[in-house]
Chains A and B, each alone.
Chain A
Amino acid sequence: MRNKLSFYIDRPSPLHRLNPLTKLAVTFAFIIIAFSAPWYWTSAVLFVCAIIPIAFAGKIGKEFIRAGINLMLPLFAFLFVMQSLFHPGGDTVLFHFWFLSVKAESISFAFLTTMRILVMVSSFLLVLLSTHPSYLMNDLTQRGMPSTLSYIVTSTLQIIPQMQNKAGTIVDAQRSRGLNTEGNLGQRIKALLPLIGPLVFGSLVDVEERAVALEARAFNAARKKTSLHEIPDTTWENVLRWVCLILVVVSIGSNIWLS
């Protein structure tokens, strides 16, 4: 159903070499600052002066823009139109349209919201484009996250494509037996069970076997597990993470202080 899972693009760049935790810290700092800083243009400036240059420094600029347009443009068009039309309050009416009126306050609110969401989604996108999920999990496990959590994430990443293939097979098989998946709403509701039934029961069957296999390999052992790959971390990245924390505190503090 979907060919490519995960946004990750393998490419040598300074951004790819950064420690995953640093990237996460910067991302969350961007998001919290975008939502908490009292200055109106903060998120727009963050996006233009920080996120876009980082994307190009990471050599993922093209993919970043393409994914950004695919994921966000329809959403933003919708959000912007809806909010400038319907956001309550404000009295500087710019123009009337049928029974609706567009106010300057609504437009400025719509711009603020879309810019904040843009910062949020695009900075996550940067992390996702430049970090393989299992690399991130590996790093977090080395920092003390329970290895069972990284088992869940990495094995989910393997199971989803398998299940998507299985779902594709089931959809084809049921269609070839005459199941109507494109009729009216009633017919489509009726098609739901024959599609998800075999899929779900089929995948639940494997669970027991996998549990036995894991138990046989000391999955529950309480000792510290060693890792095949060591993930590099430098002092200046540690400093950078602290700087992020300070910026976040300053941003939230100025928000509270000014309001």
Chain B
Amino acid sequence: MGLIRSIKKDFNTMTWVLIPVAIAINVVVGEIVVLLRLPVYLDSIGTVLVAVICGPWAGALTGLLSNLIWGALIDPNALPWFPVALFIGFVAGWCGRFGLFKSWWKVIIAGILIALTSAVVSTPIAVYLYGGITASGSSFITAFLMQTGHDIISSVLSTNFLVEPVDKITTAMLAYAIIQGLSIRYISRFPRAENVEVGKKGNTTTQIIIAIVVAAILVVVAATVLVTMLAG
């Protein structure tokens, strides 16, 4: 009974109306990122947003439908990855429940947790459906690891651990920045408004700048690790 009540709590009319908008945010922000040629995807900001203010079940549903709709409208190649999107929403929701979306440095932890989940869930899909090499550019790292004698699973997994954090931490940060920009009155209409503290301290601009700096540092770190790996 606890489970059903927990699921039901996530969904009120505001949730049902927010989910389509969140999916559209995923799609359109994803397109803007492609337009700007940034080295990230940022295609789950809406999912994380729903997960935090509506709960893990709503987040999982948003991720799932977002992926299915992405596959149906833009690229059917996205369809087999639906479990990844689903778990991103689910884990982001639990991060919200445990208070990880209350200040910007906790959001980084949430981003890392989401990234780890996404890496673990996408590995079996990449291995069993695609034999390890997928359409993304990071497959060169996988190929390199496979060539240097690692087996497929560990190559794919370490590639994902290398690539995912940058994307998912930035995603979580942007979702946090969006939540900080909303009014208390607005957020309080969603089922899990208690997951966030709006307008507590500091202003949004500083936090966004910090977020960008952190993301930039992570890009540099990931690049350094990559270079050392290629050299060693």
Which residues of A line the B interface, CB within 8 A? 1-2, 5-7, 35, 71-72, 75, 78-79, 82-83, 85-88, 100, 109-110, 113, 116-117, 120-121, 124-125, 128, 133, 148-149, 151-153, 155-157, 159-160, 162-164, 167, 171, 181, 185, 188-193, 195-197, 199-201, 203-204, 206-208, 210-211, 214-215, 219-220
Contacts and interface: CB of A to CB of B under 8 A. Distances in A.
SS class of chain B's interface: helix, strand, loop or mixed?
Answer: helix
10 contacts: A2-B74, A72-B77, A79-B135, A87-B132, A110-B131, A116-B129, A159-B24, A162-B24, A199-B28, A211-B17
A171 B189 contact: no
The listed residue with most A CB atoms (<10 A of its CB), out of B71, B72, B143, B208, is: B72
A199 B29 contact: yes
B16 A148 contact: yes
Interface in B145-194: 146-147, 149, 151-152, 174, 177-178, 181-182, 186, 189
Interface stretch (B31-39, B91-99, B101-109, B115-123): B31-39
A85 B139 CA distance: 12
B94 to A, nearest CB: 22
Contacts of B129: 35, 116-117, 120
Given A87-B131, A159-B21, A167 B182 contact: no
Contacts of B31: 1-2, 164, 167
Nearest to B150: A88
Nearest to B18: A207
A210 B189 CA distance: 13
Given A167-B31, A192-B36, A160 B77 contact: no
A27 to B, nearest CB: 10
Nearest to A170: B32
A207 to B, nearest CB: 5
Given A120-B80, A220-B13, A1 B35 contact: yes
Contact of A167 (B28, B45, B151): B28
Interface of B: 11, 13-14, 16-21, 23-25, 27-29, 31-33, 35-39, 45, 65, 69, 71-77, 79-80, 129-135, 139, 143, 146-147, 149, 151-152, 174, 177-178, 181-182, 186, 189, 208, 212, 215-216
B117 to A, nearest CB: 23
Contacts of A167: 28, 31-32
Given A86-B133, A164-B31, A167-B31, A211 B25 contact: no
Contacts of A128: 72, 76
B48 to A, nearest CB: 12
Contacts of B69: 153, 156-157, 160
Nearest to A110: B131
Given A120-B80, A151-B16, A163-B25, A188 B131 contact: no
B133 A121 contact: no
Contacts of B216: 189
A95 B189 CA distance: 65
Quick one: which of B27, B31, B80, B131 has the most chain A CB within 10 A? B131
Given A156-B69, A159-B24, A188-B36, 15 more contacts: A79-B130, A86-B146, A133-B72, A151-B16, A152-B23, A156-B20, A156-B23, A163-B27, A164-B31, A189-B212, A193-B212, A196-B45, A200-B29, A211-B17, A214-B16
Contacts of B23: 152, 156, 159-160
Given A188-B38, A207-B18, A210-B17, A124 B29 contact: no
A195 B32 contact: yes
A16 B23 CA distance: 28
B24 A192 contact: no
Contacts of B65: 149, 152-153, 156
A171 B32 CA distance: 9
B73 A5 contact: yes
A98 to B, nearest CB: 12
B56 to A, nearest CB: 17
A219 B13 contact: yes
A226 to B, nearest CB: 20
